[in-house]
Structure 1
Amino acid sequence: MGARHRPAYVRFRLTGDPPYRAQPRRRSLGLLGGQNRPEPATVTSLEGFRETLELLAKDPKVKGILLELEDLAVPPAKRDVLVKLLEGFRGAGKRVVAWAVGVDNLGYQVMCAADEALLSPAGRLELVGYAAEAMALGEGLGRIGVQAHFFRRGEYKTMPELFTLPHVSNIQREVLESFLDERYAELVDTLAKGRRRTPEQVRAWIDGGPYSARRAAAEGLIDGVCDEAALPERLNGKGSEGEADEEGEGLEPMPMYLARLPWPPVRWRRLRPLPRLAVVPVSGMIVTGKGGSGVTGQMAGSEAVVKALRAAGRNRRAKAVVLYVSSSGGSAVASEIILEAVQRVAKKKPVIAFVDRVAASGGYMAALGAKEIWATPHAIVGSIGVFAGKFDTSGLMEKVGVHRTLITRGENAGIYSSTRGFTEHERALMEAEVEETYQAFLEHVAKARGRTKEEIHALGEGRVYSGTRALAVGLVDRTEGFEEACRRAMELAKVPGRFDLQVYGGGDRRFSLLKLLLGGSHAGTYAFCPTAWSLQGFGEGERFE
């Protein structure tokens, strides 16, 4: 009886930023649950989604899936995974229908991988291209009596410009435009392929956006407008192409499909546990110590990351390690501490560094300890450069009537004080320290990448690259996805077949970027400025909980 009444279409809800894999303790067939008890249709991991699609593809009674998109916020790397999964499902002879109330560039690219793209009558298609806003606070800080004094090595090391310049520099504009050009070109190519239009037509679409649902349908950007309540009838062809298939029962989420199977698949407990792959996240601003709580942003404390690396290295069941880097850098000292810890683990077992968002400056330095560095095509990589400095708040204190007196013993004792700027002697010392730190950075990169310091300097001075361009200049080894990087790590460990993931570290602590700048000037800083980057899909990084 159950076999005759299982649904012809299975409903999935794609929202937020689902992880690549769920943790083993929460894992079940197909959709993978979490602490917040998502709706039955919600995709809670990309690996779980792949498993479910493979199961459905083998069922001749299943015609296809309905994929509902809501506030999708994945990076380009995960978008590519989703597109491949949908294309593979369609290649098995199944149908994919995508529906949403509203989508932006990202969601629309996923919809274009479907056989049919639908919007709610009240919906919108925010197809407008890409924008990135750069900011310069120098003039504003000066007006309130704050002077930023920073030293940098590399004209492309633009982070201090946020605080020192009155206007955005030409170099900052150049860098932003290079990334926008890549993202825009890919958007045009993806839509042209998915909607079977010429690039010229797609560019005209983008320039004509945003769209109401009805105007998007009229222009051919979507295949129709449909209320959510009418989706079952549309999928089964009632009222248009005949009655629904007698063997189909409309539209239901995956748990209901499984409940209607006469012989539901069973995941038997293995007599021998699967080999394990360790994942160690380095997410957020890199700082010394354990970390702590702050105002904005995630952080990676060197002590916590090193502890996680040691645990992964000691665990005999963990045959290899993937260092998941999603960091724009931070403290030079902390970055080098993490690098040394990665190198120690790499002497015991294979380590692959993987980047799907950003591994810049200190984040890139941490990745250098791995045997190979993998990045997805649109990841941000590089920013080999250094800056250091401080804020002089004496003008602000005077404006608000606060008087501070600096009393020192020693010529340079007040070098980090915020009550004044740098003296000429202190300035020379800071310049020398920044130069020394930069040379050390070059040495680390040159040794890890098998190049000379001169070659790395030509690629450095703060320059940033997409994953594709980083591969071309030799800063990364491969441009593929997370699962491919994991398989490569296990391949290097000579462990074929299936494996489990075990996450070490990765706690979610919060941190203030301003606190780093105010307190870390003496050590030098490896950091890339994320403030100017509003490109869609580059958030804090994968959440491993």
Structure 2
Amino acid sequence: MRLLFVPLVNLLLLLRALLGLPLRLLGARSRPAFVRFRLSGEPSYREPGRAPRLGLLGSQGRPEPATVTSLERLREDLALLARDPAIKGILLEMGELAVPPAKRDVLVKLLGDFRAAGKRVVAWAVSTDSLGYQVMCSADEVLLSPAGRLELVGYAAEATALSEGLGRLGIQAHFFRRGEYKTAPELFTHPQVSDIQRRTLEAFLDERYGELVDIVARGRRRAPEEVRRWIDVGPYSARRAAAEGLVDGLCDEMDLPKRLGLSTGEDEEGEGEGVESMELYRARLPWPPVRWRRLKRKPRLAVVPVSGMIVTGKGGTGVGPELSGSETVVKALRAAGRDRRSRAVVLYVASSGGSAVASEIILEAVQRVARKKPVIAFVDRVAASGGYMAALGAREIWATPHAIVGSIGVFGGKFDISGLLAKLGVHRTLITRGESAGMFSSSRGFTERERELMEAEMEETYQAFLERVARARGRTKEEIHALAEGRVYSGQRARAAGLVDRTEGGFEEACARAMELAKAPGPFELKTFGGGGRRFSLLRLLLGGGAQTGTYAFCPTAWSLEGFGRGERFE
């Protein structure tokens, strides 16, 4: 059937191209010198509809014509423009960017490669922050609107401790943990932020701040000392940024064509003559690229996302996105394993942990698939605690340099709200049959015997976690324990510690590696299995009866890193 269908489709594509040729030949005479791109939000790795969204799309609905919707499409567009001698360069209009460092690095490389082909890149924004400015610094010329701002102020982190406030309400937090660095329950148990949390945050801030200085220094050709001074005296009005040399000039949007050396006329789309969107550029090519249908289908790569809090069941009881139920993920893994066209699997992990039981169930499912076909785990945001456990079943773990990895440790416990109930005049009587039947009741604390049981369960769960990591990483439990106890690593530090295998590649490279292991190199297509979790909070989990032992996050509610991209702000 495909032998008949594909030639027919290709014939129709050819006829459409031929019918439109006269109009395109007329339009080719007025092809632009510059092509405009709008970069904002969070473009996906691959084009929506042809690849997994992975929760990484920045907007809903039909985007504006010039909007960058995926890194894949931007790569294709820039390669096409680089081969056209009539094209002088691109105008990159920056909006509010919200990408993790991994995607920022891809954007910087794509712009660098385009410039290396002899083309010009002009970046313009009304206002931008440290993240957007790093991308803009990879351009030949950086421009701001005269009314704009440059929020170059570095990075900040905030950690929260709620114990004293909860105590005033009559709520006592009773938690047990294994791992000195397993700081998740400190949000509820400590009156002040601990030194360990402070040192953890400072380590991440030092890495990100150093990279910010390096990228800006290279892009603006300034000494690191001067860039640090720039950061210390920010933020900037547009005029002050120009006076300091952070940008090359100020320009209103309507004056951009003139700045590019083009006609100052404007069309109905607000684009000056000689600068237009990629969509219009393609429409004026005599022979635009055509996606011919192939007689033989490309091999397929399956992508299974594990995003957000990991919980047992289907994971459909929360509110909003970002929750992975073990039942849903396992079903997706089984489907990916059974799919004959899928030669390999990429497990996209973006989870800071969750239930120990659910994480182990997912790990076992990953291991079952890995016995049939290659599995690569890819992390560009966070794979901590249960999220890291899930990744252990893959043949290789890939993490980008500034992903968050580790938090090998466990904690569990409950809240005692008897004080709050007394203040409210609420009287609750606990009636049990069995000495430990009321162990997780929120109307009282733990008895001494129950504390001993919890301590024993914590130890047992932690030792099992160590064993799984040691077996997967080819190390001893003692070696892993020295790296564990809840310690959190950046991707590059995790690579040095032997907790991940690669940090020098991004999503596309990880996918290519999976297909290489499957002995199917070359072009491939992607298909997502599963995904579509819902939002959940650690506080809701703990207050809602999830008081049993768990490999929970190192704490998405305990501290946040400002300015690191939407996907990495934990709050």
Identify the TM-score tier after normalising by the shorter chain. over 0.9
Matching of residue 366 in structure 1 with residue 390 in structure 2 = yes
Find the counterpart in structure 2 of residue 108 from structure 1.
Answer: 133
CA separation in 1, counterparts of 2:367 and 2:283?
Answer: 49
Find the counterpart in structure 2 of residue 494 from structure 1.
Answer: 519
Matching of residue 258 in structure 1 with residue 282 in structure 2 = yes
Matching of residue 534 in structure 1 with residue 561 in structure 2 = yes
CA separation in 2, counterparts of 1:522 and 1:178?
Answer: 31
Identity of matched residues, %: 77
CA separation in 1, counterparts of 2:448 and 2:116?
Answer: 68
Find the counterpart in structure 1 of residue 234 from structure 2.
Answer: 209
Q: Offset at 1:35?
A: 5.6
Opposite residue 534 of structure 1, the aligned amino acid is L
CA separation in 2, counterparts of 1:430 and 1:521?
Answer: 10
Q: Offset at 1:250?
A: 1.3
Task: Pick one of 415, 425, 441 that aligns with 1:391.
Answer: 415
Q: Offset at 1:538?
A: 5.2
Matching of residue 222 in structure 1 with residue 247 in structure 2 = yes
- Which shows bigger deviation, 258-267 or 215-224? 258-267
User: Cα–Cα, structure 1 residues 254 and 238, in superposed 2: closer, same or farther, change >3 Å?
Assistant: closer
Q: Offset at 1:398?
A: 1.1
Opposite residue 224 of structure 2, the aligned amino acid is P
Residues 101-146 of structure 1, C-alpha deviations (whole Å, 9 max, x = no match): 1111100000000000001111100000110000000000000010
CA separation in 1, counterparts of 2:420 and 2:431?
Answer: 20
Find the counterpart in structure 1 of residue 359 from structure 2.
Answer: 335
Opposite residue 302 of structure 2, the aligned amino acid is A
Find the counterpart in structure 2 of residue 355 from structure 1.
Answer: 379
CA separation in 2, counterparts of 1:372 and 1:287?
Answer: 24
User: Cα–Cα, structure 1 residues 364 and 418, in superposed 2: closer, same or farther, change >3 Å?
Assistant: same
Opposite residue 155 of structure 2, the aligned amino acid is Y
Matching of residue 449 in structure 1 with residue 473 in structure 2 = yes
Find the counterpart in structure 1 of residue 75 from structure 2.
Answer: 50
Which stretches of structure 1, 4 residues or longer, exceed 6 Å deviation after superposition? none
Find the counterpart in structure 2 of residue 522 from structure 1.
Answer: 548
Q: TM-score, normalised by structure 2?
A: 0.90
User: Cα–Cα, structure 1 residues 385 and 206, in superposed 2: closer, same or farther, change >3 Å?
Assistant: same
Say what the alpha-carbon RMSD is for the aligned residues: 1.8
Residues 82-117 of structure 1, C-alpha deviations (whole Å, 9 max, x = no match): 000000000000000101111111000000000000
User: Cα–Cα, structure 1 residues 540 and 115, in superposed 2: closer, same or farther, change >3 Å?
Assistant: closer
CA separation in 2, counterparts of 1:515 and 1:92?
Answer: 52
Find the counterpart in structure 1 of residue 181 from structure 2.
Answer: 156
- Which shows bigger deviation, 149-158 or 398-407? 398-407
Contact 2:42 2:59 in 1 (8 A): no
* Structure 2 residue matching 1:447: 3-state secondary structure: helix
Opposite residue 553 of structure 2, the aligned amino acid is A
User: Cα–Cα, structure 1 residues 171 and 523, in superposed 2: closer, same or farther, change >3 Å?
Assistant: closer
Find the counterpart in structure 2 of residue 20 from structure 1.
Answer: 45
Q: Offset at 1:428?
A: 0.3
Residues 39-94 of structure 1, C-alpha deviations (whole Å, 9 max, x = no match): 00000000111000000000000000011111100000000000000000000000
User: Cα–Cα, structure 1 residues 172 and 340, in superposed 2: closer, same or farther, change >3 Å?
Assistant: same
* Structure 2 residue matching 1:330: 3-state secondary structure: coil
Unaligned regions of 5+ residues in structure 2, if any?
1-25, 265-271
Q: Offset at 1:522?
A: 1.9
Contact 2:379 2:399 in 1 (8 A): yes
Task: Pick one of 399, 418, 427 that aligns with 1:375.
Answer: 399
User: Cα–Cα, structure 1 residues 513 and 526, in superposed 2: closer, same or farther, change >3 Å?
Assistant: closer
Opposite residue 533 of structure 1, the aligned amino acid is S
* Structure 1 residue matching 2:364: 3-state secondary structure: helix
Opposite residue 166 of structure 2, the aligned amino acid is L
Contact 2:43 2:71 in 1 (8 A): yes
Task: Pick one of 391, 414, 421 that aligns with 2:445.
Answer: 421
Find the counterpart in structure 1 of residue 326 from structure 2.
Answer: 302
Q: Offset at 1:25?
A: 4.6
Unaligned regions of 5+ residues in structure 1, if any?
240-247
- Which shows bigger deviation, 529-538 or 405-414? 529-538
User: Cα–Cα, structure 1 residues 274 and 33, in superposed 2: closer, same or farther, change >3 Å?
Assistant: farther
Q: Offset at 1:26?
A: 8.4
CA separation in 2, counterparts of 1:33 and 1:533?
Answer: 20
Q: TM-score, normalised by structure 1?
A: 0.95
CA separation in 1, counterparts of 2:101 and 2:302?
Answer: 24
Contact 1:394 1:419 in 2 (8 A): yes
Q: Offset at 1:488?
A: 0.4
Contact 2:466 2:477 in 1 (8 A): yes
Task: Pick one of 196, 201, 207 that aligns with 1:182.
Answer: 207
Contact 2:155 2:561 in 1 (8 A): no
User: Cα–Cα, structure 1 residues 165 and 117, in superposed 2: closer, same or farther, change >3 Å?
Assistant: same
Residues 211-257 of structure 1, C-alpha deviations (whole Å, 9 max, x = no match): 00110001000000000111111112569xxxxxxxx9411001110
Alignment of 1:40-119 (within 5 A): 40-119=65-144
* Structure 1 residue matching 2:180: 3-state secondary structure: coil
Contact 1:358 1:538 in 2 (8 A): no
Contact 1:298 1:540 in 2 (8 A): no
CA separation in 2, counterparts of 1:397 and 1:537?
Answer: 40
User: Cα–Cα, structure 1 residues 297 and 396, in superposed 2: closer, same or farther, change >3 Å?
Assistant: farther
Q: Offset at 1:481?
A: 0.6
CA separation in 2, counterparts of 1:470 and 1:417?
Answer: 39
* Structure 2 residue matching 1:537: 3-state secondary structure: coil
Contact 1:285 1:299 in 2 (8 A): yes
Contact 1:302 1:337 in 2 (8 A): yes
Q: Offset at 1:534?
A: 2.2
